[in-house]
Structure 1
Amino acid sequence: MPSGEFRVQEVPVPVPGPGEVLIEVKAAGVCLSDVHLIDGSLKPFVPVEEITLGHEVAGVIHSLGPDLGGDWAVGTRVALQAGQSCGECANCRRRRAPCLMARTRGVDYDGGWAQYAIAREDTLAPIPDDLPFDQARDHPGRGLHALRRHRRHRRRPPGSGGGHLGRGRAWARTASSWPRLAGAAPVIAVDPLASARERALAFGADLALDPADPDFAASVLRVTGGRGLDLAFDFAGVPAVREQAARTLCRGGAMVLAGLTPQPLTVTDGTRFSWNRNEIRGHYGSGPEHVEQLIRLAATGRLDLSPSISGHLPLAEAAEAVHRLENKVGDPIRLVLVP
């Protein structure tokens, strides 16, 4: 969208090509990544003239394209992966993971803010009949991937010392719940809004802090037994919070940048950061297995995703949904468009 113009318009129903299906969209999430695409602070990796937004999508298969490899049927309820491999890079040609030029739905190719959307069959994840569409769409998948990947990378066993800090109310459910399921202790949530901190505690955080609190660093040290944070996750892409997190890492601790922002990253005391052997790790997206894991956990009642859904709006009111999220009208976590 070079012009930066956002609009709702009628377009022809797309036709699925080889290996693709046409999805009748039942629920499509609105998140801050969509807001940043509209305001221009987030750019597509693959330049396009126009794009249909929406990377958190669930629906039913409406029609089948030719040359499908799987046993798909019209009417199957599915969630869509938030992206797909390019099929062209060196890793894809050798059938290795990860793809070096992965594409993101609603960013690099058309997404699900529509009545119908095209999906490649390898991006489909079946969902059970009793799981609501708005809970099946892939909104916490990235958080799950970030938490599991970086805890595994650091080889932290359940109950290991140190803290886990998460910032970003849109992922409050993920930031508070998943570290507990992974055995992290303590779990610290950070947000400037009191209501968001209360939600984080309800979702399972051990402590919820205001980043403006002058005793912030002392509180982190107190709850971690004087050690500091082992892992700090930024889910919102806020430079000030990233710098704050860097200052509270323990020796050997790492900060994971899961929220997206084009703004520069700074570390105030580089000498201390190096002396502590601290790390900064980037993170983007999730793998197919994480969406499937979320669906299984939600379907079996192990994880309730409904508290993270703040409201539903008709597709025609997409601009209103963006306005509410951007301006925090009603303090929403996630809004869902329903065609």
Structure 2
Amino acid sequence: MSRSVLLEGPGRRRVVKGEVPEPGPGEVLVRVAAAGICGSDREMYEGGRPEPYRTFPIVPGHEWSGTIEETGPGVDPSLTGRPTVGEGFVNCQVCDRCRAGDTNLCGAGYDEIGFTRPGAFADHLIVPARLLHPLPAGTDLRAAVLLEPAAVAAAAVLRAAPVPGERVGVVGAGTLGLLTIQLLAASSPAELVVSDPRAGREAVARAGGATAYFHPDRLGATDLDVVVETAGARDSAAAAARQVRRGGRLVLTGIPGVVSEMLSPSMIVERQLMVTSVFGAPSAAWTHAVRMFTSGLLDLGPLVTHELPLEAYSDAVALLGQGGEGVGKIILRP
């Protein structure tokens, strides 16, 4: 038997039991080791996720790590027993965007594990084998669960294209921000400035490579070469833009929700800012994040602060909503 969390609609969830699913052609069966919870999962639970980006009923869970337990027809059977993570966007591979490498922007429409097809808040997960990123034997799967947000951070940093010796910044010291800090630190910046209202995140940010840390109300450096915004708060994009030098680069990753914020076009044009953004992560960003993790350049384990059983799904969502200084990455352990 296999357990899974079934979210039947906003706030309506139950743990169900059923037969272990069978992988079809081109698929694998993964035994889930850990599954992370993020703001998108809370959005699903509370009913705030836009209809084109969710399906009910659904087994949530898009951040996961596990072990390949069985391979379907057409999949290399030697993968059985390998630790792995995997991409969430199930892309068509043939549209213009996929062929250009933007697999997260597939023209066939949005289709993502944990949002439109069964996810990892379960004992077992079915995944197309082509989306897997197998990991070395003995990999810490508790830490590897953060490779999904690390891939998003990698997508942002690849767009930022930091050059050694540049002055860089990160707005937001949540999970995504802390991962972005580590990735930017690997580019050997002259300075790495971080802003976040939570003073308790400073030690972790500095351990990841931050050289300065300040509250958003205290405007710090205003002439940074590149700033990555990760907070997704009401005014965080505008705050990030104010920190970028004239002619500098701004990368937006956060989605502030239904309330629009003002990022002045005049500020962008008059200062000739190069503004770009990321939505999820393409395959290239996943490869970058996985390589940095397996080579020891990404330290993911310390970002996990809470581990709960599968049955405590709603408690984990509530804990995420409460936030606080001591709440980092929350994971469910089947």
TM-score of the aligned structures, taking structure 1 as reference length:
0.86
Q: Distance in 2 between matches of 1:8 and 1:170?
A: 27
Sort the Cα spacing of 1:303 and 1:89 in 2 relative to 1 into closer, same or farther, 3 A: closer
2:201 paired residue number: 196
Give the alignment partner of residue 131 of structure 1, picking from 111, 136, 139.
139
Contact 1:190 1:211 in 2 (8 A): yes
Higher mean C-alpha displacement, 37-46 vs 311-320: 37-46
CA RMSD in angstroms, aligned pairs only: 2.3
For 2:116 and 2:250, locate their aligned partners in 1 and report how far apart those are by CA, in whole Å. 27
Equivalent in 185, 193, 209 of residue 180 of structure 1: 185
Q: Corresponding residue for 2:226? A: 231
The Cα shift of 1:7 comes to 1.3
Give the alignment partner of residue 58 of structure 1, picking from 58, 65, 68: 65
CA distance in 2, matches of 1:168, 1:45: 29
1:77 corresponding residue in structure 2 = 83
**Gap regions ≥5 residues in structure 1:** 222-227
SS at match of 2:143: helix
Cα 1:314/1:2, change in 2 over 3 Å: closer
Which residue type is aligned with residue 182 of structure 2? S
User: How far did 1:254 drift?
Assistant: 3.0
Letter in 2 for 1:266: M
C-alpha distance after superposition, 1:10-34 (max 9, x if no partner): 1433322221111110111111221
Question: In the alignment, what sits opposite 1:225?
Answer: none
Q: Give 1:311 shift.
A: 2.1
From the superposition, tell whether residues 186 and 287 of structure 1 become closer, same or farther in structure 2 (CA, over 3 Å).
Answer: same
285-294 or 203-212, larger mean C-alpha shift: 285-294
Q: Identify if the C-alpha distance between structure 1 residues 335 and 46 changes in structure 2 by more than 3 Å, giving closer, same or farther.
A: closer
Q: Does 1:24 align with 2:31?
A: yes
Conserved in 1, the CA contact under 8 Å of 2:200 and 2:325? no
What is the DSSP-based 3-state SS (H/G/I as helix, E as strand, rest coil) of the residue aligned with 1:311?
Answer: strand
- Which of 69, 78, 97 pairs up with 2:101? 97
Provide closer, same or farther for how the CA distance between residues 163 and 61 of structure 1 changes in structure 2, counting only shifts above 3 A. closer
- Deviations along 1:229-264, whole A, 9 cap, x unmatched? 222222121121212122232112232221223332
Q: In percent, how many aligned pairs have the same letter?
A: 25
3-state secondary structure, aligned to 2:16: coil
Number of paired residues? 320
Given that residues 232 and 249 in structure 1 are in contact (C-alpha distance below 8 angstroms), is that contact kept between their aligned partners in structure 2? yes
Report the structure, 1 or 2, having the larger strand content: 2
d(CA) in 2 for partners of 1:236, 1:143: 12
Contact between 1:173 and 1:203, CA under 8 Å: does it hold in 2? yes
1:35-54 correspondence runs (5 A): 35-43=42-50, 45-54=52-61
Contact 1:171–1:333, Cα closer than 8 Å, also in 2 = no
The letter for the 1-side match of 2:262 is T
Call closer, same or farther: CA 1:143–1:124 in 2, change over 3 Å. Answer: same
> Is residue 37–residue 63 contact of structure 2 (8 Å, CA) maintained in 1?
yes
Q: Distance in 1 between matches of 2:285 and 2:312?
A: 30
| Contact kept in structure 2, 1:83 and 1:105, CA below 8 Å | yes
Tell me if 1:10 matches 2:16: yes
Q: Is the 8 A contact 2:89 2:110 kept in 1?
A: yes
> In structure 1, the residue corresponding to 2:276 is in which secondary structure?
strand
1:117 pairs with one of 117, 120, 125: 125
Structure 1 pair 56–145 and aligned structure 2 pair: CA distance change class (3 A): same
- Whether the aligned pair in 2 keeps the contact of 1:190 and 1:197 (CA below 8 Å) is no
User: Is the CA contact 2:226–2:249 (under 8 Å) kept in the aligned structure 1?
Assistant: yes
Name the amino acid aligned to 1:212. Answer: D
- Equivalent position SS for 2:290: helix
- For the pair 1:308 / 2:325, whether they are aligned, the reply is no
Gaps of 5+ in 2: 1-6
